[in-house]
Amino acid sequence: MFPLISATEIFCLNELGGRTNNEDFVSPRKGTASLSDKLFIVCDGVGGEKKGEVASQIACLSIQEYIKKQAPLNGREKGVIQNAVYHANEKLAAYVQTDADAKRMSTTLALVLLGEASVTAAWCGDTRIHHVRNGDILWKSKDHSLVSELVSQGELTEEEARRHPQRNIITRSLNALNYNNVVDYHEIKNFVTGDYLLLCTDGLLEQINDGLIGEILTNKNEKDKAKSFLSFCEGATRDNFSMYLIRGQVTEPSKRRRPVPFIVLTIVVCLVLLWLAFFFFRKS
């Protein structure tokens, strides 16, 4: 039997920022997550296109709905997530049939699924996933964006990319047209108790870099990590900003008592009855 990964602390933001409309959407909805939840999703409707807030909500809720119906997954995590993405694309396409203005709507996706012995991460666009231990970022997803490609080519540093005027141009998204909507996957096999998973939209990263993430997560004076992130972003971030921050633990499953096979139990009962019959026969 495999160890089980579960949440011990959950923090969430889903904030308007400097916008008049919130195109971010998170699942579970802000304020509703519980420690029994295994699936966390953050989506960011693509700015500059109509109905971004609709796209993020449809994708988030349809993926959540599909995956929950497939439980238990039993090692099928990646395949089930991929099918959930197909399901979300179908939902987006169906919505377009009812609203022509939504034809070009699209959204990013960041998702983590806590499983047995590992965490499955999936993403599309520039909503990012981090795996953090003791303040160090062990892994983070690679954005599907123009500036990310320029960083990979050595033409920009990560700090320059954060301030680049074209930083909001993404190269992949979930969309009704099914265009360039490929999702990447990563399996976190080295997750240990106390590690954090941070899913966040690019709005959060306007004011917060990798070093600051480490500082916030190792600051023992402030237990409410959502409050810490909010303090850096509120009033300073032009975009909507959202996140799910999950601190996890790895526990060994309790040893279950094996049920006595029915045939063995039947034999035992028969022997007891024979002994009782013999005992009463002798007495009589």
Instruction: Output b/e per residue, 37-76; b: 16+ Cβ within 10 A.
Output: bbbbbbbbbbeebbbbbbbbbbbbbbbbebbeeeeebeee
**For residue 168, pLDDT beyond 90:** no
Q: Are 207 and 201 in contact (CB under 8 A)?
A: no
What average pLDDT is seen over the chain? 90
Cα(234)–Cα(16) distance, integer angstroms: 9
25-51 average pLDDT score: 93
Task: Tell me how far apart the alpha carbons of residues 55 and 45 are, in angstroms, rounded to a whole number.
Answer: 6
The answer to whether the beta carbons of residues 52 and 46 sit under 8 Å apart is: yes
Q: pLDDT digits over 75-99, tens only? A: 899 999 999 999 999 999 999 999 9
Query: Given this model, what pLDDT does residue 72 score?
Result: 85
CB 176 within 8 A of CB 95: yes
C-alpha 1/C-alpha 282 separation (Å) is 51
pLDDT of residue 71: 83
Closest C-alpha among 13, 77, 95 to residue 39: 77
Q: What is the mean pLDDT of residues 152-164?
A: 78
Q: What does the domain layout of the chain look like in residue ranges? A: 4-259
What's the pLDDT score for residue 283? Answer: 56
Q: What is the chain's length?
A: 284
pTM of the complete model beyond 0.75: yes
Least confident of 20-29, 127-136, 253-262: 253-262
pLDDT bucket at 256, cuts 50 / 70 / 90: very low
The mean-pLDDT minimum among 143-152, 157-166, 218-227, 269-278 falls in: 269-278
CATH 3.40.50.300, domain 4-259, yes or no: no
What integer is the mean pLDDT of 38-65? 93
Q: Please report the pLDDT score of residue 257 as a whole number.
A: 44
DSSP 3-state of 136: strand
d(C-alpha 267, C-alpha 265), whole Å? 5
> How far is Cα 281 from Cα 273, in angstroms, rounded to an integer?
12
Alpha-carbon span 252 to 191, nearest angstrom? 13
Map residue 4 onto helix, strand or coil: strand
Over 50: is that where the pLDDT of 278 sits? yes
Residue 258's CB: how many other CB atoms inside 10 A? 6
